[in-house]
Chains A and B, each alone.
Chain A
Amino acid sequence: MTIQGLKRIDSNRVEVPMGYKKGMRTKGVIYVDATLEAELDKDSVDQVANVASLPGIVGPSLAMPDIHRGYGFTIGGVAAFDVTEGIISPGGVGYDINCGVRLLRSSLRKGDIAAKISDLVNALYRDIPSGVGSKGQLRLSAQDHRKVLLKGARWAVEQGFGDREDLDHTESLGCIEGADPALISSKAYERGKAQLGTLGSGNHFTEIQHVDEIYDDEAARSLGLFKGQVTVMIHTGSRGFGHQVCTDFLEVMQRAVIKYSIELPDRELACAPFDSPESRDYMAAMKSAANYAWANRQMIMHWVKESFMRVLNAGPAAIGMSLVYDVAHNMAKVEEHIVNGTKRKLVVHRKGATRAFAPGHPELPPAYQHTGQPVIIPGDMGRASFVLLGTARGMEESFGSTCHGAGRALSRHQAMKQAKGRAIWREMEDRGIIVRATGRSTLAEEMPEAYKDISTVVNVVHAAGLSKKVARLRPLGVIKG
């Protein structure tokens, strides 16, 4: 569909000009080639324009090629706001605070597990609680719950879920400073206490993969990746705990909008000046949820390792599993960026977008100082996922951000209609991929055709220079909620 009013900048970028919608304070830029532009829907473009109307926005309102309609902010949206004149919006982070992805490498080759894929998938399905209504193996005491919020993945490591080195390979070392458990509602505590160590539902998954293509030999070596290698990807977030934090603070922000006389084109964009008590409270609560999510992924990773060791009857050294990196893709962070030659402190919202810092950035761990930040991009369950690296161009142009996944092409209803009469699990098995899901219609809703082609999405951010391709991963076995 051609959307009136957009201006193509080059083969990977279109502009949403200032006049596209009333009230815009800046232009929008959407990273799409001609193929993905044809798949754009007007609502998501309108959302890019709506974000451009928020106070204190710095630079353009951006959207990555996996853009699709969200609530308030589009999915795939990136927007930076001045810390003195700008705002923070829970809708620019999303309900699943610190939803993110982690990638494990192993010393195993595809052939080593070929005869055991079904057993591994079944073990993961049994060991990692997933799906609607599932509860974890832990019941957090009030004291431990607060520790999770303050320490994040570090809490999980202290409890024996993983190693100290895992933290070095996690964004923000798996714990963002400034969390405040006192600002969390009793409802969020109730929702969170039995959900730590659970996968969730919808598009969350744990996937066994193999590296089938290397695009940059040297970078792949630095990340410990090689062709034919078995990897495991985990995609989940802060579960009901984070959902409740967002719900609670959207209510707070609805009142803040009136208090601070902020005009909004969509109530889901509710926000407050960044320099306000409402924003300070939200940031401290959001950080608590972010830390919960890092603890969650850390624990699930531990069970993945245990499942592999049990099924393969092998020790830790034999499977050689370690964390490549863990990235958040629903988050707001205060960062320093150069804008028009001046260093500025900004609050960068990434909603369905991944941080992708360039080589040499002080926030990167020593192992990735020379490569740039690893970026983990999950695709659909039938095609591929990708590993990329952050670039200097991305720092200059997109506040060090890139895409986060494939982005939906079909609504859930459309996907179910197309899947009617088909056995998706068998189709996947015919492609050599074993899938297990708890939900009645999860496989239909999540079938590969329901998503844009991840290769097209990744090729756009690569060609635009926002991040560079290192390796492609193909699925072998998937568990979903």
Chain B
Amino acid sequence: MKEIEYLDISGDVGLRLRAGSLEELFEAAAEGMASLITDTSALGESEQKEVVIPAGRGDDVLIAWLNELVFLFDAYGFIGRDFRVTFHKGELRASVSGGTFNPAVNERNLLIKAATYHNLCLKKINSHWEATVVFDI
């Protein structure tokens, strides 16, 4: 189970996420954010990146994870399409496959400056995980 809902916020945009596991929730957050930037299915040749985020509070790790992906896009044009997240003693290890954004070819949607702590929420409800993240755009 993985659900991504787009939130409408006056100047900005957010995601409400629901997933069966914490790993899936982090994958959903990354997929949701990437889809705000461009149509990831139209990206070119596949590249692979490994991402590691040190252990910390769950919601802090979520923000650090998304901001690492913002960095990879903004600095190198790399945007993920498929995300495989695992946790080892709280440390996030992710394998991200995606491609390099080409502004002349790929759809140019939102420029995400950062994932913010504003109204940030990450919690386990019964058997599933939920999160809300707001992006500055």
Contacts and interface: CB of A to CB of B under 8 A. Distances in A.
A410 to B, nearest CB: 8
B110 A95 contact: no
A410 B108 CA distance: 21
B49 interface: no
Contact of B8 (A247, A268, A411): A411
A250 B116 CA distance: 9
A221 interface: no
A69 B10 contact: yes
A441 B71 contact: no
Interface stretch (A1-9, A127-135, A171-179, A370-378): A127-135
Contacts of B6: 413
A252 B30 CA distance: 23
Nearest to B64: A251
B55 interface: no
Interface in B109-134: 109-111, 113-114, 116-120, 134
Interface string A243-264: 1101100110010000000000
Interface stretch (A11-19, A70-78, A296-304): A70-78
Nearest to B75: A190
A71 B38 CA distance: 24
A202 B8 contact: no
B1 interface: no
A439 interface: yes
A254 B117 contact: yes
B35 interface: no
Interface in B47-71: 60, 64, 67, 70-71
B75 A187 contact: yes
B113 A243 contact: yes
Contacts of A439: 108-110
Interface in B5-56: 6, 8-13, 37-38
Nearest to B13: A412
B66 to A, nearest CB: 10
A interface residue count range (under 10 / 10 to 19 / 20 to 34 / 35 or more): 35 or more
Contact of B74 (A68, A240, A411): A240
B118 A68 contact: no
A133 B116 CA distance: 20
- Interface of chain B, helix or strand or loop or mixed? loop
Nearest to B106: A133
A133 B109 contact: no
A70 B11 contact: yes
Contacts of B38: 132
B103 A438 contact: yes
A69 B9 contact: yes
Contacts of B103: 131-134, 438
A250 B117 CA distance: 9
B78 to A, nearest CB: 11
Interface in A1-51: 41
B114 A133 contact: no
Contacts of A240: 74-75, 113
Contacts of B75: 187, 190-191, 240
Contacts of A69: 9-11
Contact of A75 (B11, B77, B111): B11
B83 interface: no
A200 B111 contact: yes
B11 A68 contact: yes
B116 A187 contact: no
A411 B109 contact: no
B107 interface: yes
A414 B71 contact: no
Contacts of A244: 71, 74
A201 B109 CA distance: 9
A168 interface: no
Nearest to A352: B11
Interface core residue of A41, A132, A246, A439 (most chain B CB under 10 Å) = A132
B136 interface: yes
A133 B73 CA distance: 8
A134 B117 CA distance: 27
A481 interface: yes
A71 B136 contact: yes
A244 B38 CA distance: 21
13 contacts: A71-B117, A96-B113, A132-B37, A132-B103, A132-B110, A133-B77, A191-B71, A201-B108, A240-B113, A250-B116, A408-B10, A410-B10, A412-B13
Given A202-B110, A240-B74, 13 more contacts: A68-B11, A69-B11, A72-B117, A132-B103, A187-B71, A190-B75, A247-B70, A247-B114, A254-B60, A267-B120, A268-B116, A412-B13, A438-B108
Interface of B: 6, 8-13, 37-38, 60, 64, 67, 70-71, 73-77, 101-103, 106-111, 113-114, 116-120, 134, 136-137
Q: Top 7 closest A-B pairs, CB basis?
A: A71-B118, A201-B111, A267-B117, A190-B75, A413-B8, A132-B108, A268-B118
